[in-house]
Amino acid sequence: MHSLCVYCGSRVGIDARYAQAAADLGQAIAARGMTMVYGGGSVGLMQIAAEAALAGGARVVGVTTELLMQREIGHQGLSELHVVQTMHQRKKMMADYAEAFVALPGGLGTLEELFEIWTWRQLGYHNKPVGLLNCAGYYDGLLDFLAQSHEQGLVAPDILGLLQVDDHPARLLERLAGAQPISADPWWRMRENI
């Protein structure tokens, strides 16, 4: 695993542990000699993770849109900064650059990116590991909801199992590096209505 796409907030949040987790993840990426791929912003948790990775000597690739360049002010100190026209182009380029994905605390954009890339894996559009850094219990409510979705028969357990969850950045990277690819056709469960 040589590159990691990081999804996280364009805000820092009120709990200082979010910022620490972003910095720790950036440092862990650098310590493993990996490239960090992210949304290219110079604000919030995005900036903290990127600058920690850069400070550790990592290559950091940002991908943003023209509109977000105006709103978030793209980070000018990155190894590479790509500016595209649409969010669809942005997300595809980030996915193409990365060999794995991690979501840190964030808002609607982070959730949307996490669920899209996880769904793409479920459907077989890629076979890359997906992780969730559950810093300070930020995602506990979401994980409870996902468990309820399984209990209600709407999400199969092997699909839930595709999401690697941990509260420690370096340990989560280890889990992603050891994640096994999907071996079965995910559609058979839908055909059998399981």
Q: Where are the domains of the chain?
A: 3-191
Alpha carbon distances (Å) from 13 to 1, 18, 43, 127, 143: 29, 7, 12, 32, 20
User: d(Cα 163, Cα 160) in Å, to the nearest integer?
Assistant: 6
More confident residue, 184 or 126: 126
Question: 192 versus 62: which is more confidently predicted?
Answer: 62
The pLDDT value given to residue 190: 52
Task: Tell which CATH architecture fits domain 3-191.
Answer: 3-Layer(aba) Sandwich (3.40)
Q: How confident is the model at residue 186 (pLDDT cuts 50, 70, 90)?
A: low
Q: How confident is the model at residue 179 (pLDDT cuts 50, 70, 90)?
A: confident
Reading the block at residue 171, the tokens are: 């340990």
Q: Is residue 87 over pLDDT 50? A: yes
Whether the model clears a pTM of 0.85, i.e. scores above it, the answer is yes
Res 184 pLDDT > 70: no
